[in-house]
Amino acid sequence: MKNSLEICILAAGKGTRMKTATPKILQPLAGTPMLAHVVSTARTLNPTKIHLVVSPDHEALKSAIEDNGDLNWVVQSEQLGTGHAVQQAAPDMDPDASILILLADVPLLRQETLQPLLESPADVAVLTVDLVDPTGYGRIQRNDENQVLRIVEEKDADAETRAISEINTGIFKIGEGQLPGLLSRLSNDNQQQEYYLTDIVELAGSDGLHIATVKTLSAAEVSGVNDLVQLASAERAFQRRQAEELMKAGVRILDPNRVDIRGSVTFGQDVVIDVNVVIEGPCAFGNGVVIESGVVIQSSRVGDSSRIKAQSNLEGAQLGEHCQVGPFARLRPGTALADGVAIGNFVEVKQTTMGSGSKASHLSYLGDAAIGERVNVGAGTITCNYDGVNKWQTVLEDEVFVGSNTALVAPVTVGAGATIGAGSTITGSIAPAALGVARGRQRNIDDWPRPEKASDAPGLVKKSAPKQTGV
């Protein structure tokens, strides 16, 4: 096919500067592996093929990257450099295709920025950028006519070359049919004894081919991520970009520098996010949801007009509309709240459904419970769901009223409209509309002598007790 585009993503490097057990390119950026960001950018360009050059121990990559059958996994058995990496993929490339080279450790790059590079008619087009601090990058060396001569790696550069501020982003487009001839002539005669892909520029020049540079203005977008310091800067840049996109789409973010959104998250209209919120997808928020400060939400769905108050923690929870949660609430996996449910401070909910209009306003643990509609769970209610071996269910039918400080020893069922007296330990089921109360009766003793301090010994003794002698 004429004018076909193939993309080659280099992802086999050792990543030694990262100093982590996790492979560098699987380090998460906004909750998604760096490499996955690059693969999805590649897909937006609709190439005929995507070659992914990986190291032999790439099993972790295979499980982290979704392969829709469009990825050609190429193993580079020894990491002999970026040029050597592309050489491994070359036999699988259509010799007449133009080739775009992407680096797995340049994850912020956007399709818009690649477009001018793809449109360049040059035989070799290099994406470059001017950096205030170019340390670590390959420098673009030009002649007096401003034509590109070669790219010089930091380790091979003299002081004059190091002073050049224009750097190689590592992203190239090689015109139709040009790559094989250039690749076959790479050598490893350099400081790192590696086959540098960057040497194709000088080779192309000596062949009289047309070399062009496409300069981007966005330094952050083409930053390479080699260590954890650069990963943190890339994360901030990504979060900032994402927050700006969300604000432009109508999400009110009070401070875009103090919100982190990771993975896939969707928002309705008029959502408000206060400061220091962390959201990890997949999550979906309806219209008019308010998320107060210090809230952490993972894998949850929140319906229209619900409010998550300060310092609450939600994981695997499904909330209907008009719910109120927190402050300081914890919703754990399996929590399903119908419309209008209210969960107050210091309430923990797990594997529990609550029907519409039900409330647990203070200091409770609700685990493995099926709670009906309009149920009032009093302060300090605890479902005793675990006997040390098995988990048991608590059922509170519609309109149950649970008095404060009640222990519900599961399995137990409380019938519709039943009432439980405060301070009860409920071990047996209660019939609908009945009162269940299970606690010691109050006993009063008149004229009770209060203890008072003994004169010759520390501690408290009763007024009526005989004085202690000796020890």
Based on the shown chain and the rule CB under 6 A, indicate whether residue 48 belongs to the binding site for ligand UD1.
no
**Nearest to 163, CA basis, from 196, 200, 132, 117:** 132
Q: Which stretch binds ligand UD1 (CB under 6 A): 163-171, 325-333, 423-431, 432-440?
A: 163-171
Binding mask 110-149 for ligand UD1 (x = CB under 6 A): ---------------------------xx-----------
Instruction: Give a three-class secondary structure readout of 131-180.
Output: CCCCCCCCEEEECCCCCEEEEECHHHCCHHHHCCCEEEEEEEEECCCCHH
Q: Is 15 in the site for Ca ion (CB under 5 A)?
A: no
Type of residue found at 174: I
H or E stretch including 350? strand 342-350
Interacting positions 216-235 with Ca ion (CB under 5 A): 224, 226
Query: Considering beta carbons, is residue 193 or 468 the nearer one to Ca ion?
Result: 193
Query: Per CB under 5 A, does 348 bind Ca ion?
Result: no
Site for Ca ion, residues 46 to 105, rule: CB under 5 A: 105
Binding partner of residue 378 among Ca ion, ligand UD1, none, CB under 5 to 8 Å per kind? none
* Spacing of C-alpha 61 from chain mean position: 17
In this structure, the strands spanning 272-273 and 290-291 are parallel
Q: Residue 137: which of ligand UD1, Ca ion, none does it interact with, CB under 5 to 8 A by kind?
A: ligand UD1
Q: Is 167 in the site for ligand UD1 (CB under 6 A)?
A: yes
234 contributes a contact to ligand UD1 by CB under 6 A: no
Number of separate helices (H) and strands (E) present in the chain: 8, 41
- Least Cβ distance, residue 25 to ligand UD1 (angstroms): 6
CB of 63 to ligand UD1, least distance (A): 18
Please, which of residues 289-308 interact with ligand UD1 by CB under 6 A?
Answer: none
CB 100 within 8 A of CB 9: no
Is 153 or 399 the residue whose CB approaches Ca ion more closely? 153
Interface residue with ligand UD1 among 71, 99, 100, 105 (CB under 6 A) is: 105
Binding segment (CB under 6 A) for ligand UD1, from list 82-90, 248-256, 365-373, 448-456: 82-90
Compute the least distance from the CB of residue 90 to Ca ion, in Å. Answer: 21
Closest approach, Cβ 171 to Ca ion, in A, equals: 11
Segment interacting with ligand UD1 (CB under 6 A) among 194-202, 297-305, 342-350, 364-372: 194-202
| Alpha carbon 340 to its chain's center | 29
Catalytic sites, residue numbers: 362
- Whether omega for the bond prior to residue 28 falls within 30 degrees of 0, making it cis, is no
**What is the nearest approach in angstroms of ligand UD1 to the Cβ of residue 10?**
3
In the block, which residue shows the tokens 């585009």? 5
Report residue 304 as tokens.
Answer: 């229209």
Separation CA 420–CA 124 (nearest Å): 79
Distance, in Å, from the CA atom of 171 to the CA atom of 429, rounded to the nearest integer, reads 69
Contacts of 262 (CB under 8 A, 6+ apart): 28, 30, 31, 32, 278, 279, 280, 281
Minimum CB distance to ligand UD1, residue 16 (Å): 9
d(C-alpha 29, C-alpha 11), whole Å? 16
**Residues of this chain that bind ligand UD1 (CB under 6 A):** 10-13, 25, 53, 76, 79-82, 84-85, 103-106, 137-138, 151, 153, 167-170, 196-198, 224, 226
